[in-house]
Structure 1
Amino acid sequence: MELNMPILFPRSPAIADHYRDPDVLANLHRQLKAKDFVKLPDFLLPSAYDVVAQNLEYLHSQRIRKEFVMPGFNTERRMSVVGGKRVTDLSLQLIALYGNHDLRRTISTIIGAHIHTVCHEEEFMVVNFLDGEADTHGWHTDDPEYALILITESPGENGGGELEYIPDWHNFCTNNGLDPVSKINTAIELAFSLGLAESSKLAAGDCYLLNASNALHRVTPIIGNGRRKALNMAFDTRRFRHYGETAYLLYAS
């Protein structure tokens, strides 16, 4: 597939005008702090979104299938992926978007802190594909703090592929005397019973920002023949940190 489009340079405009309003950004900051999540519909300019959508369509042909139970939380992965190293090799456009000043300035404002590049060759930017019945990205937290997710294809209504998340996961488990890893199923059931679990259906064109290290989250299994395509860009307010091995297990070729 030939990608015939301009590259988004680091200083190119990328974010829709709506997200330049200080009052809008202040409200989004409050939502993120309260829930570890904020939905960002029509976040990118149409020209920037088209770059992403066409690149993800191309990268879908380069995907690697993964089906296994991830150690630690012991939750299922049934999905296809393109990790950061291969994104770097295959898509200058997406790398330029990751470094885009307009995007980073907006995300920093919503978070309320300066953000740094995630120095992990696989996890700084990944592409996830759920391609059919029962595909899922099981419960987990991320090593990087924040994940900016852009959806370019989503299952229809009642087709699965929804984001589910439990805010402030570690404190919730501590407050209820539950280990956040070994007692994950018990803790999830309790969170749902208390009405503390949240969900969000995302359509093509939607973005969301998640405090992915603080909120336990998953993408629910696909029902039927729907598909979900998502670009995940990771950012951190901490310049240096230790990263585990899970990203290599899921994203390394």
Structure 2
Amino acid sequence: MNGMGTLYVVATPIGNLGDITLRALETLKQVDAIAAEDTRHTVGLLRHFGISKPLIAVHEHNEQQSAEHLLNRLQAGNSIALVTDAGTPAVSDPGAVVVQAVREAGLIVVPVPGASAVITALSAAGIVQPGFWFEGFLPASGAQRRKRLEQLKLLAGTVVLYEAPHRIVECMADMQMVLDAVRQVTIARELTKTFETIHTCLLVDAVDWLQSDLNQQRGEFVVLIHPPVVQKQVGLEAGALRILQRLLQELPLKQAVSLATDITGHKKNELYEAALAIKSGDSLKQD
């Protein structure tokens, strides 16, 4: 490794320490110093793998100042690894300011990839439609959050969000209010950890599911908002689809479609097509 004047952007495990890569370990062992979001957290990671290196704190409150300090060290010939508490620096975590400053100074930035909460959640959700939009964290303010959801509602693909445990219920309630209630959502919690949970349901049921077990409100969340496929395919309004979904939970498909036809007044063919699409989506759920 030629680390002179090089910044290594090193991904660390998002939970299970066994997910660290051999390349990441080799990099952390050979650099001159490690810039970390939380030095206390990183000390534990390094200690687990028998690594001892000088640590430099780089977090959201000092990132601009730290970028100048790291740049000086890199220009002096030091090699530095940049890490966050979990996952990849500069992706919904501190690091982008440092990377930008180093690149603008003409020095080399080397990515050392690893575990990703986004890709981990997508791989286990069974969403067959291609494409996704990574949003990261929504605004903490309810009004601003709902405003942003109104904009995201227009996207055709999967929308990927991060959310903190103390906001997950109110975030899901806002999603239920702004988006179609029959749109599917996958809630991925504590990925790669002991209490990992990957649950898919309709938005209309998401808040109840979270509130039925307080343990499901703990940990860090990745939320996948599925594409609104059914609505686009069959042109039914949310109310009719919700009735159909409820009937399908209790009755065989043909009987549910027949009863939904009587209740909603929609054509039987439209409802049957919608029922098949819903059943197809059900087969992809992860509980």
Regarding TM over 0.5, the answer is: no
More helix by percentage: 2
Task: Tell me which of the two structures has the higher relative contact order, counting C-alpha pairs closer than 8 angstroms and 6 or more residues apart.
Answer: 1
Q: Find the structure with the greater CA-based Rg.
A: 2
Q: Normalised by the size of structure 1, how large is the TM-score?
A: 0.29
More strand by percentage: 1
Q: Normalised by the size of structure 2, how large is the TM-score?
A: 0.26
